Amino acid sequence: MRPLCVAVGLLLSVAPVFAQPTAVATAALPARPADALSPAFHKQRRELLRQALPPGAVAVLFAAPVRNRANDVDYIYHQNPDFYYLTGYQEPDAVLVLFKEPQTLNGQPGITEALFVQPRDARREQWNGRRLGTEGARQQLGLQFAADNQEFAKAGIRWADFSQVLLLDLPADVRDDPSDPADLYDLLATFRRQAAVPAGFDPRQQALHQTMQQQGVGSADRTRQMLENLTRQRPSVAQDAYVQRYLKATTDAERQQALATRPVLRFNTATLSSALNELRAVKTADEIALLRRAVRISAAGQREVMKATHTGLGERELQGIHEFVYRKYDAEFEGYPSIVGAGANGCILHYTTNDKPLVGNELVLMDCGAEYRGYSADVTRTIPPNGKFSPAQRQIYELVLAAQEAGFAACRPGAIFQAPDQAARKVVAEGLLKLGIIKQAEEARRYFPHGTSHYLGLDVHDRGSYGPLAAGNVITVEPGIYIPAGSPCDQKWWNIGVRIEDDLLITPTGYENLSHEAPRTVADIEALMAQPSALDGFKLPQL
């Protein structure tokens, strides 16, 4: 953007009093992709969530804040996944309100759902892109009640009449745009003021209470240790009567009695979060179609990188090939920052620097996933840049592959969520013992420090109940072994990092591997890496 454009843009954004009056936008509404989730999907999700609310309750959800990258440049906007799941709305400065019982808003009776959105504004849309506005929210999203966000403060919501006000963690560190009287900063302030949210409201306390309930008395030692640590770290926990009652209990019966006294708070984050966990854990056919597309695109990226990789490339170049393939197949974003780590970098679990100029002959771990229509894949492959695994690399790789196969076999409806992890860990521990890398099975966690599975969906680490697996769950199975230099084992294993990750749909009879198109076996990887790449002749001039 030219300096003059920046100056004019700033003038219009921070000093609208000097600009022409805001014109009513007449340009076409933003187009929705043909395969986007339908308004009927979002409507059904809202209704199912509303049915899960307790009597007399209201639920409030806010759009994600705009995040500043530097100076007057913001990050590309990404909607709060819960907000998108319930509305399909992808713009900032909005709030959704769901009522258990019908209410009257602005004189209109029978309202069970209300969405307040940023208004259309021709001047701002010229600079920052088209907006849906109120009419667009009604037409494209099918909301029963939609109004400009400036109407939120005047809608007449009788917050004091509700027995519970259910919300998620309120967005923090939100900037105030002085030129916008109803941006997210103002919407939050209005809600806090009108609903009389207590100044000391701390969602972390409710999350802690929820964790205590979930762990029950079966993990008493672990729960006690957690609570004692938090008591030392956070004064609010030390003063929490519910926590202290649990800590004073000395028997399982007393602990059970203590857990039963959990306070029901009027401003409640746990109830809404739990309801969304249950709802989002089981994907509909429409969601599975989008996830399948995201995963296939990611698998295509892995295949193309395998064919294009050689020892003279750098991590960032390999990252670029993945992400070029994503865009070629119309994926809007990456689901998370791409991880492309060679050698020692592959032993860093969330390595995203990706700046090693030459990968050389060391294994390259590539944990990459496309985001398609909001849904994220998560596929990891580990490959030898020269096209052939060394004997040591192959031994570790095939151990991880065996662990993954064991994890796959544990995936079926009714199995506990931890079943794939338990199966994979057993294989890794036995294998590391056999290779002489560890002396006791308990030492395996040093080299396999993360979990094996998580839910997948609108978030790469998606919402879910973490209860028994059920048909419609989409999960990862991703065992790994990471042996950084200096580890207490033979040096031939040092700097070998291997993770193999696939995305599985739990079916009524077992599972479907959605990412099967990305080769996993040593033989298949080496065979594909021997094939020519479409990028073999791609050369840029020297700069």
Point out the residues that are catalytic. Answer: 72, 350, 367, 378, 450, 454, 461, 478, 482, 499, 501
Q: Give all strands (DSSP E) within 188-235, no chain letters.
A: none
Q: Which amino acid is at 190?
A: T
End-to-end CA distance of the chain: 24
d(CA 322, CA 518): 13
DSSP string, 79-106: --HHHHHHH----SS-EEEEEEEEEEET
Range 246-254 contact pairs with CB under 8 angstroms and sequence separation of 24 or more = 246/212, 252/217, 252/220
Inter-CA distances, 163 with 264, 291, 320, Å: 10, 38, 52
d(CA 227, CA 255): 13
Picking from 426, 532, 404, the residue whose alpha carbon sits closest to that of residue 477 is 404
Under 8 Å between Cβ of 409 and 528: no
DSSP string, 97-136: EEEEEEEEETTEEEEEEEEEEPPP-HHHHHHH----HHHH
Under 8 Å between Cβ of 154 and 162: no
Q: Give all strands (DSSP E) within 133-239, no chain letters.
A: 145-148, 164-167
Structure tokens at 410: 């544990």
d(CA 427, CA 418): 15
**Widest Cα–Cα separation across the chain:** 76
Residues 6 or more apart whose Cβ sits within 8 Å of residue 222: 215
